[in-house]
Structure 1
């Protein structure tokens, strides 16, 4: 009974342990970089939305409305 192996000593039945470990390491590094970036962008977007809402409220209050209600 003989077993066939590749020249590098692997049986060739799937990807190797080191490839799987490398893929996992790359994914974890990518998540470690993207996570804080998204967290920071969330607060910047929230701040920008608040400024935009305030600006729209200011514009709607200061606009001249000939047919709108007038204050006495």
Structure 2
């Protein structure tokens, strides 16, 4: 006869559920940080472009 604990499947279910929820939270935070970094990159490129154009016109 094999002995098995009655809560072995329930415990693994809750562990898997916790892991899935944790991964979803990390992905949502990571995606938000990625979008924020993309906007910062766009703003930086606009500032550098404007500075370059301004510098080109004032040099002539």
* TM-score calculated relative to the size of structure 1: 0.58
CA distance in 1, matches of 2:59, 2:27: 47
TM-align CA RMSD: 2.4
1:47 is matched with 43
Residue 31 of structure 1 aligns with which residue? Answer: 27
Structure 2 partner of 1:57: 53
Structure of greater Rg: 1
Where does structure 1 lack aligned partners over 5 or more consecutive residues?
65-72
- Relative contact order, CA 8 A, sep 6+: which one is greater? 1
Residue-pair matches, total: 57
Distance in 1 between residues matched to 2:14 and 2:22, nearest whole Å: 12
Q: Distance in 2 between matches of 1:43 and 1:32?
A: 17
Q: Give the structure-2-normalised TM-score.
A: 0.66
Greater alpha carbon shift after TM alignment, 43-52 vs 30-39: 30-39
